[in-house]
């Protein structure tokens, strides 16, 4: 995952292709757990604009996660983009903070952490097996995508529920 930037010492070199795979089994963040079912693939380039160097790579990944509504595992293929300006670690003072910066050190760029961060940002806020997932029945716990359990789920205001418990009907 370490990319050698020393080719850019040659002023005539204006781009460098970046391609590879990252083997990562799983990822845990915000109480979620994503399991990668195949290596994460990335493919793109580092290119020069004037004196500056920029990175742009496409990331493809396939993962498995548990649905936040029905609790069934689902798998999905997704993609995202990682791009930003390369900055040597020592020279980070006084930079324009609006830009996405990617740091390298000693002519080497370690991409793994940036790839993983880009994936975290691209994942949906809430894991869902599919958009219309009906979730679990609040009464019997059945997966309502598979089983139409016919339960009548009363939507009772909790304040009234307290009153109902205080004055149970005979
Ligand atoms: Zn679901
Ligand atoms: Zn039910």
Summarize pLDDT for 49-92 with one digit per residue, the tens.
Answer: 998 999 999 999 999 999 999 999 999 999 999 999 999 887 65
- Position 27 scores a pLDDT of 94
Q: Across residues 11-19, what is the average pLDDT?
A: 95
Looking at the CA of 137, which ligand is closest?
2
Is the pLDDT reported for residue 170 higher than 70? no
Q: Residue 36 is part of which domain span?
A: 2-133
Looking at the CA of 133, which ligand is closest?
1
Distance of CA 141 from the midpoint of ligand 1 (Å) = 13
- Position 98 scores a pLDDT of 65
- 120 and 166 part of one domain: no
Cβ within 8 Å of residue 10, ≥6 positions away: none
- 103 and 86 part of one domain: yes
- Position 89 scores a pLDDT of 82
**Within 10 A of 152 (CB to CB), how many other CB atoms are there?**
5
| Beta bridge partner(s), residue 85 | 54, 101
- Position 90 scores a pLDDT of 74
- Helical (H) or strand (E) element with 119: helix 112-122
CB 59 within 8 A of CB 42: yes
- Position 102 scores a pLDDT of 92
Distance of CA 163 from the midpoint of ligand 1 (Å) = 34
pLDDT in tens, 97-122: 667 889 999 999 999 999 999 999 99
- 28 and 86 part of one domain: yes
Is the pLDDT reported for residue 36 higher than 80? yes
Longest dimension (CA), the chain: 90
- 111 and 57 part of one domain: yes
Indicate the pLDDT class of residue 164, thresholds 50, 70 and 90.
Answer: low
- Helical (H) or strand (E) element with 124: none
Looking at the CA of 144, which ligand is closest?
2
- 102 and 28 part of one domain: yes
Average pLDDT, the chain: 89
Cβ within 8 Å of residue 4, ≥6 positions away: 107, 108
- Position 159 scores a pLDDT of 66
- 128 and 75 part of one domain: yes
Distance of CA 138 from the midpoint of ligand 2 (Å) = 7
Q: Across residues 15-22, what is the average pLDDT?
A: 96
Structural domain count of the chain: 2
Looking at the CA of 151, which ligand is closest?
2
Looking at the CA of 147, which ligand is closest?
2
Distance of CA 17 from the midpoint of ligand 2 (Å) = 55
- Position 97 scores a pLDDT of 62
- 85 and 151 part of one domain: no
Distance of CA 70 from the midpoint of ligand 2 (Å) = 13
């Amino acid at each position: 995952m370490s990319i050698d930037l020393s080719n850019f010492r040659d002023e005539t070199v204006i781009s460098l292709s970046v391609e590879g795979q990252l083997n990562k089994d799983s990822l845990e963040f915000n109480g979620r757990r994503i399991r990668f079912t195949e290596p994460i693939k990335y493919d793109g380039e580092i290119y020069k604009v004037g004196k500056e160097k920029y990175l742009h790579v496409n990331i493809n990944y396939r993962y498995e996660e548990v649905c936040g509504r029905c609790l069934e595992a689902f798998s999905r293929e997704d993609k995202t983009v990682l791009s930003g300006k390369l900055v040597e670690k020592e020279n980070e003072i006084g930079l324009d903070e609006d830009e996405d910066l990617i740091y390298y050190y000693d002519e080497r760029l370690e991409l793994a952490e940036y790839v993983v961060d880009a994936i975290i940002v691209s994942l949906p806020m809430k894991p869902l097996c599919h958009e219309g997932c009906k979730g679990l029945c609040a009464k019997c716990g059945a997966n309502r995508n598979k089983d139409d359990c016919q339960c009548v789920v009363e939507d009772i205001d909790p304040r009234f529920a307290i009153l109902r418990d205080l004055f149970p009907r005979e």
